[in-house]
Amino acid sequence: MTKIDQLSYKKYVLCLIGALFFLRCLVAASLELGNDEAYYWLYHQKLFWNYFDHPPMVALWTRIFTLNGLIPDHEFLLRFGSVTGCALATWFMYKTVASLHSERAGFFAACLYNASFYAGVTAGIYLMPDAPQMVFWTFSLWMIARITKDESNWKSWVLFGIASGLCIMSKVHGVFLWGGMGLYILFLKRSFFFKPQLYVAALITLVITSPILIWNIEYDFATFRFHSERVIINEASIEFNFLKELAGQIYFNNPVNFGLVVWGLRSFGRKKTGRSSALSVYNLIGLPLAGLLLFISFFRDTTLPHWSGPAYVSLLPLAAIWLAEVSKDRGFPKLIRWSLGVFVFVLIGWTCVVNFYPGTIGEKKNDNFGRGDISLDLYGWKKAASHFQTLYEAGINKGIVPAGTPLVCTYWWGAHIEYYFARPSNIPLIGLGSIDRVRHYLWMNKLRKLNVYADAAYCIMPADENYDLPIPFYNHIQLVTTITVNRGGRPAHNFKVYLLTGRRDTVRK
């Protein structure tokens, strides 16, 4: 046994978690909320058993880490649950692979997990459903490792049932955990069919996830119909989005990680890497999910690259074990350094671009100024909101609009406007439009509209976004002003402020 083999890698994992926890805290505190994050902030304003487009865990998770809303709304505090969740998921990934192979391989898995832009940023910093999902996903992987080592262990089965259920309550991708386990049992381990532990675990998952079904029965399966429309194959209009989806999967999961996963799968297929039963389950979880998204992308352009994140997280244990076996005499392989180095470089670089890039990298025309600059999703909202607050108060003082005049939006991205423009001044905001566009605002409207004076309203439209003005709802729409926010001394983000008057009678009914 070499000196390196005698080392305990647990302390390195803890150091890794601590260092990246600190870095993520800095990033979380330095970036404004994005569109998606503001929408999930809206979730936690009132807890529901399910939401139109996602299960309720992201709202509950945020409530837990903001002490049930007692902590004031702030970007860092809202994201703290995600940063903490990444630390927990890192530990579970380490425990998973350490139990299958070695502490060294577990350390490698922890490094690769943190180097993933999906796991380390989307689920590790931002306020997203993926944050709690990854906590329960990685814990489920750990329980699968324990189950395959001790098939009759009731504790492992019960914990898997609980964790997979909570994972589904975070995001519906969690069903692939049971899908992979089911494929493994059906094709490789039929003896599990005779174990009561399997059925108890499945029952636990069903009970935990039952609110999703109950809510959808009440609301005509709104969630299922919405998501099915996004992935159903349309034979009449084939759209070749495959290359974009593949490139997105490679980037979001870190190109170095992607390469390691491919080499790990190649070695596993050639029976050169440890043939653990758990690795077979992980492959049956990850490959169908990644493959399904690539298949759908041949026909639809609605797939998003971060949807593949859980698939590649499931394949990281194989990559870590393969790397540990081919680099037995090296303490810290260059590929791990490259993977983490790329992640840290891009994360810091991205944060600097968002906060300091002079002007915009998007369009320069006034009507669509900034469009195509994704960094604007995270910049300029606070500054613009302070200008609007002055305008709003002046309108009331001059009698242009009555007190309590709301803001309105025609798309769920209006939550971004609500968080930065409406929330600080206690201005009500309502969504106007169809359920597939305003989404959760349809439910929030029921809680708010009785106290909203809606014969006049303001609508704020960021120039870089392309949803519609509420033309069908008002007779008169007047552009009041355009608020320009500079970055690095140059114009970067424009916000158009409209005054709407003469709400149409057909809308009142």
What is the phi/psi pair of residue 226, to 5°?
-65, -50
Q: What percent of the chain has pLDDT over 70?
A: 93
Please determine, for residue 506, whether its predicted confidence score (pLDDT) is greater than 80: no
pLDDT of amino acid 327: 84
Please determine, for residue 227, whether its predicted confidence score (pLDDT) is greater than 80: no
Here the contacts of 107-110 (C-beta below 8 Å, separation 24 or greater) are 107/9, 107/12, 107/13, 107/16, 108/320, 108/323, 108/324, 108/333, 108/336, 109/316, 109/317, 109/319, 109/320, 110/13, 110/16, 110/17
For the entire predicted model, the pTM comes to 0.94
Reported as half-sphere exposure (CB side, CA atoms, 13 A), residue 34 has a value of 15
pLDDT of amino acid 2: 42
pLDDT of amino acid 3: 43
Please determine, for residue 14, whether its predicted confidence score (pLDDT) is greater than 60: yes
Mean pLDDT of 126-132: 98
Please state, in angstroms and rounded to a whole number, the distance separating the CA atoms of residues 305 and 244. Answer: 8
CB 146 within 8 A of CB 276: no
Please determine, for residue 238, whether its predicted confidence score (pLDDT) is greater than 60: no
User: Got the DSSP string for 392-412?
Assistant: HHHHHHTTSS-TTPPEEESST
CB 370 within 8 A of CB 495: no
Please state, in angstroms and rounded to a whole number, the distance separating the CA atoms of residues 48 and 50. Answer: 5
Distance of CA 431 to the CA centre of its chain: 23
Please determine, for residue 507, whether its predicted confidence score (pLDDT) is greater than 80: no
Distance of CA 113 to the CA centre of its chain: 15
Give the residue from 108, 107, 97, 92 showing the smallest Cα distance to 9: 107
Distance of CA 262 to the CA centre of its chain: 24
Higher-confidence residue of 275 and 300: namely: 300
- pLDDT tens-digit map of 296-339: 888 888 888 899 999 999 999 999 999 999 987 667 899 999 99
pLDDT of amino acid 231: 65
Please determine, for residue 440, whether its predicted confidence score (pLDDT) is greater than 80: yes
- pLDDT tens-digit map of 187-205: 999 999 999 999 999 999 9
Per-residue confidence band for 1, with pLDDT thresholds at 50, 70 and 90? very low
CB 245 within 8 A of CB 305: yes
Q: Tell me the average pLDDT of the chain.
A: 92
pLDDT of amino acid 4: 45
**Residue 196: CB atoms within 10 Å:** 10
Mean pLDDT of 433-452: 86
Give the residue from 28, 17, 245, 12 showing the smallest Cα distance to 121: 28
Please state, in angstroms and rounded to a whole number, the distance separating the CA atoms of residues 144 and 121. Answer: 25
DSSP state of 122: I
Please determine, for residue 34, whether its predicted confidence score (pLDDT) is greater than 50: yes
Q: Strand 456-462 and strand 429-431: pairing? A: unpaired
Please determine, for residue 128, whether its predicted confidence score (pLDDT) is greater than 90: yes
pLDDT of amino acid 329: 64
Please state, in angstroms and rounded to a whole number, the distance separating the CA atoms of residues 493 and 484. Answer: 6
CB 474 within 8 A of CB 351: no
Please determine, for residue 159, whether its predicted confidence score (pLDDT) is greater than 80: yes
What single letter denotes the amino acid at residue 169?
M
Please state, in angstroms and rounded to a whole number, the distance separating the CA atoms of residues 442 and 51. Answer: 11
Higher-confidence residue of 271 and 217: namely: 217
pLDDT of amino acid 300: 81
Angle between helices 57-65 and 75-100 (to 10 degrees): 110
Please determine, for residue 451, whether its predicted confidence score (pLDDT) is greater than 70: no
Please state, in angstroms and rounded to a whole number, the distance separating the CA atoms of residues 415 and 393. Answer: 21
- pLDDT tens-digit map of 374-432: 999 999 999 999 999 999 999 999 999 998 899 999 999 999 999 999 999 999 999 99
- pLDDT tens-digit map of 456-484: 999 999 999 878 899 899 999 999 999 99
What three-state secondary structure class fits 11? Answer: helix
Tokens coding 308:
């593949």
Please state, in angstroms and rounded to a whole number, the distance separating the CA atoms of residues 19 and 16. Answer: 5
Per-residue confidence band for 233, with pLDDT thresholds at 50, 70 and 90? low
Per-residue confidence band for 54, with pLDDT thresholds at 50, 70 and 90? very high
- Tokens 């439009």 belong to 433
Please determine, for residue 279, whether its predicted confidence score (pLDDT) is greater than 90: yes
Per-residue confidence band for 501, with pLDDT thresholds at 50, 70 and 90? very high
What three-state secondary structure class fits 366? Answer: coil
Mean pLDDT of 271-300: 89
Q: What percent of the chain has pLDDT over 90?
A: 79
Mean pLDDT of 7-18: 92
What three-state secondary structure class fits 275? Answer: coil
Per-residue confidence band for 452, with pLDDT thresholds at 50, 70 and 90? low
Please determine, for residue 237, whether its predicted confidence score (pLDDT) is greater than 50: no
CA distances from 485 to 319, 367, 376, 388, 493 (A): 45, 15, 10, 12, 5
**H or E stretch at 485:** strand 474-487
